Structure 1
Amino acid sequence: MANLEDIRRRSTWRDMLEGQPQHLGLIVFLWLGATSLLMPSPDGQRFLGLTAQTWAITSIGLAILHQVIVAFIFRAELHRNLVTRLHGEADLAIWTRMFLPLLVARPITILITGLADVVPIGTPQWLNIGLGITFVAIAIYGMHSVLTYFTIRRAVGGDHFREEIAALPLVDKGIFKYTSNAMYGPIFLGLWGIALLCDSWNALVVAAFQHAYIWVHYYCTEKPDMEWIYGNR
């Protein structure tokens, strides 16, 4: 494992931008694809004053905002120690308070989209309910494993901030017994589950967007960062 101070001493501005041109290009591609699939409500039904289509676009926009902020903070902290230099020992606590509300907004806005939507998915209701309950249950189990074994400090990218967090051993309990990428795979199935239980086409489009986009974050931002912290960069 590399020393964080050594990473900051050796890295350049070019290293900070690694994967980000691809990230921005994929934002455009996924945005255009997702918004083109959204369907307007035939009766103009609204929830809290907004249509399901508007809620869906809001959910997509908040997911993009979340991941752009995460990419910036991860790189700024890993390569320039920016948040710590600005806030000292309160750095991780301040970052967690920024990170969590946008994370929580993801399932909430998908649920609201589903409640406002009258455009059905078009699959049998028994299938929607069965898969929806299964996916939500997997996501709940995954979140329990994150909170119990992985911890929030690691989940918000604490290894970019603290040597002692980066030095913690790999987690192999709970859902992490089956996959090391639980937060990108099984947990995001919960978004699909919400859409299926609501029988909402627009919520399903948003769930697909968010699940695809979190993998963009992994390959464009987190994977290169892990190579710096745990690899041989």
Structure 2
Amino acid sequence: MIKKENIWYQNARSLNYFFYRQIWHLLALLILLPIVWAFAAPVMGEGSWLGITDITWFWLTIGTAVLHQIVVWIVFRLQLGWATLSKIFGRFDLFIWSLIFLPFLLARVITLLGLAKSDSSSLFLPELIALALAFFLLIPAIYTIWSVLRYFGIIRALGADHFRVSYRKMPLVKKGIFRWNSNSMYSFAFFLLWFIALFLGSQAALSAALFQYLYIWVHYFCTEKPDMEIIYDK
């Protein structure tokens, strides 16, 4: 059994910290949603893929991203303040967390692909420019994913430092793309979604990809960064 006292932090053990910066999370969401809808709505309404309309795909990809990041906020704050998953699942806590996290991550890609397929060829950019941008953005996205798998580790990327003291003691990764950007997962990995949207020429999907890119930074500043300041005493 994992020793709970080695995992949770007293200064994170309050409702005040549990909701810390989440009002900004909510405000950012209320600002981003109408903006992304305004860009996507004009080109939607007639397309479909696999029998699902483009508007439904749009709200599926947006809803998946929002639900994913809300779940991450709740689990991270419960784990940091009370070691909740570790109390419930013991040494299987990270395994259970990966079973929750990874399907959400995959669903974010699949639903955006569905939106792009249902709304293909709606993009305002000329096809050659869109394709050039797509492959330009694909390079750092693939390099980031490779660097995570090769040097960072998928378990660590899931937020293992919220679950294990050993991960908190690991040095910063300075290999692969992390040599140039320590926050590459936020900066470049989501370009994969941009690639899908640009490659299929979907304005609605590009709008949703932009939303996901901005929204992951909302997660960073409202949830991840404050947690890191506690974990690493900064």
Q: Distance in 2 between matches of 1:211 and 1:43?
A: 24
CA displacement at 1:53 relative to structure 2: 2.3
Structure-2 residue corresponding to 1:230: 232
Q: Distance in 2 between matches of 1:161 and 1:134?
A: 36
Structure-2 residue corresponding to 1:8: 9
CA displacement at 1:20 relative to structure 2: 1.1
CA displacement at 1:118 relative to structure 2: 4.2
Structure-2 residue corresponding to 1:217: 219
Aligned length: 230
Q: Distance in 2 between matches of 1:117 and 1:101?
A: 24
CA displacement at 1:41 relative to structure 2: 5.2
Call closer, same or farther: CA 1:42–1:6 in 2, change over 3 Å.
closer
Q: Distance in 2 between matches of 1:99 and 1:6?
A: 20
Runs (4+) of structure 1 exceeding 6 A deviation are none
Structure 1 position 111 matched with structure 2 position 133: no
Call closer, same or farther: CA 1:4–1:26 in 2, change over 3 Å.
farther
Q: Give unpaired runs (5+ residues) of structure 2.
A: none
Call closer, same or farther: CA 1:175–1:134 in 2, change over 3 Å.
same
Q: Distance in 1 between matches of 2:176 and 2:156?
A: 16
Q: Distance in 2 between matches of 1:43 and 1:28?
A: 23
Task: Provide TM-score, normalisation by structure 1.
Answer: 0.93
Structure 1 position 59 matched with structure 2 position 61: yes
Percent of matched pairs sharing the same residue? 40
Question: Does structure 1 conserve the Cα–Cα contact (< 8 Å) formed by 2:121 and 2:200?
Answer: no
Greater mean alpha carbon deviation, residues 26-35 or residues 179-188: 26-35
Structure-1 residue corresponding to 2:142: 140
Deviation digits for residues 49-108 of structure 1, max 9, x if unmatched? Answer: 222222111100000000000000000001111000011000000001100011111122
Question: Does structure 1 conserve the Cα–Cα contact (< 8 Å) formed by 2:44 and 2:54?
Answer: no
Q: Give unpaired runs (5+ residues) of structure 1.
A: none
Q: Distance in 1 between matches of 2:78 and 2:143?
A: 32
Question: Does structure 1 conserve the Cα–Cα contact (< 8 Å) formed by 2:43 and 2:204?
Answer: no
Deviation digits for residues 105-144 of structure 1, max 9, x if unmatched? Answer: 1122111111111452211211111110121232111111
Structure-2 residue corresponding to 1:204: 206
Structure 1 position 180 matched with structure 2 position 182: yes
Q: Distance in 2 between matches of 1:197 and 1:72?
A: 35
Task: Provide TM-score, normalisation by structure 2.
Answer: 0.92
1:41-120 equivalent positions in 2, closer than 5 A: 44-118=46-120, 120=122
Letter in 2 for 1:95: W
Q: Distance in 1 between matches of 2:11 and 2:32?
A: 34
CA displacement at 1:6 relative to structure 2: 7.8
Structure-2 residue corresponding to 1:34: 36
Deviation digits for residues 144-201 of structure 1, max 9, x if unmatched? Answer: 1101110011110000110001111100111101101111111111111111101100
Q: Distance in 1 between matches of 2:5 and 2:147?
A: 27
CA displacement at 1:45 relative to structure 2: 2.7
CA displacement at 1:16 relative to structure 2: 1.7
CA displacement at 1:10 relative to structure 2: 3.7
Letter in 2 for 1:50: I
Question: Does structure 1 conserve the Cα–Cα contact (< 8 Å) formed by 2:123 and 2:203?
Answer: yes
CA RMSD, 1 decimal? 1.8
